[in-house]
Amino acid sequence: MNPPCSRFVFRMLSIAVGTLLACASAWSAPVLTADGTADGFSLSLFANGFPTFSCCGPLGIAFPTTGGVMVSDFAGNVRVFPTDVDGQSAASVAPGGTYGAGNGVGLAVAGGKVYMAEQSAGQVIQLNNDGSFNQVIVTGIPTATGIVANPANGHLFVSDCCSGTGIWDVDPVLKTKTQFKTSGNFDGLTISPDGSILYAEANQHIFGYRTSDGAQVFDSGFISGADGTALGFGTLAGSIFVNTNFGNLYQVNLATSAITDIVTGGTRGDFVTPDPNGSLLFTQTFDIWRLTPAAGGCIGNACTVPEPGVLALLAVALAGLGFSTRKRASWR
């Protein structure tokens, strides 16, 4: 059921205002806040030089089973960077596929296959691992934007950002779709490792919904420009990270909803994607930046870190190894 016309118009005006502000901003590099530095995070530039359309640049990021880092941009290109190292340029990587303005949006991997949400076309497609087109999975999802794989069943959750049809549950094997949330405008998505809770941006909040019955179980409170989101693990367990349209990246406590600004000063942020190495890749107007946690922390369902007790034992073992080495050296 579509929302009232006035609500849709308000959403469109909000997007337009955000776009104008983003376009008016000169390029600037994001920097860590005092809190981000104190918590041991570090920043580095993964890749720059992405084209933009309507002031949006890179959006979707995925890791194909064949290696490399796949990136879509709102201008409609899909590139595969051959390595997951910092300091790269989009200009040096030819697109593996070009899909038209507004169609290079969210990316997700399910069952070893890569899927992309096409906002302008209102559909979900499967890509080959080089970014080229494979097949259409489903049509009829207006302004399909965010996409995330459900680890519990291999389905895809797909958000409708701007037409009021909510969030869709897509079976990529049977090529069917049903509405998980039947109304509302949603954007960035992430999901718990067991697939039990889906987190989604709506109205500049991050909401958590039980996937079993759709019941709301979390509300971050208002976060200006909230968009992409990802969960923390290890020492960051109990936190969710939120990229925003206004150059900030926040860490939100899932128990208390306390919000900490850890990155500031950037340009328009959209989606975020956890790297299997435990860092977070977050998009800006022209760039993709990497947020790396301190030892013991990681971001994303795919990463694992030792328990604190294991880390302590490892530290003792390394200290003992160093002492033993020094002792042997003194005997010589």
Contacts of 321 (CB under 8 A, 6+ apart): none
pLDDT band, residue 312 (cuts 50/70/90)? very low
What pTM, to 2 d.p., does this model score?
Answer: 0.85
Residue 307 in any domain: the answer is no
The label of the residue with tokens 């007790």 reads: 309
Per the DSSP assignment, residues forming a β-bridge with 125 are 116, 136
The pLDDT, as a whole number, for residue 313 is: 38
In a domain, 232, yes or no: yes
Tokens representing 3 are 């929302």
Rounded to an integer, what distance in angstroms lies between the CA atom of residue 259 and that of residue 244?
Answer: 13
Task: Answer yes or no: is 94 within a domain.
Answer: yes
Residue range 48-83, pLDDT digits in tens: 999 999 889 999 999 999 999 999 999 999 999 999
177 part of a folded domain = yes
263 is in which domain, residue-wise? 5-301
**pLDDT exceeds cutoff 90 at 23:** no
Q: SS3 of 9, please?
A: helix
With respect to residue 309, please indicate whether it lies within any of the assigned structural domains: no
Banded pLDDT at 309 (limits 50, 70, 90): very low
Which of 9, 13, 39, 84 lies closest to 296 in space, CA to CA? 39
Residue 278 sits in a domain of what CATH number? 2.120.10.30
Distances 25 to 36, 56, 102, 216 between C-alpha atoms, Å: 23, 13, 21, 36
Q: Which helix H or strand E contains 283, and what residues bound it?
A: strand 280-283
Residue 184 within a domain: yes
Q: Compute and round to an integer the Cα radius of gyration of the chain.
A: 20
Q: Please write the tens of the pLDDT for every residue from 72-116.
A: 999 999 999 999 999 999 999 999 999 999 999 999 999 999 999
Residue 306 inside a domain? The answer is: no
Number of domains within the chain: 1
- Answer whether residue 312 is part of any domain: no
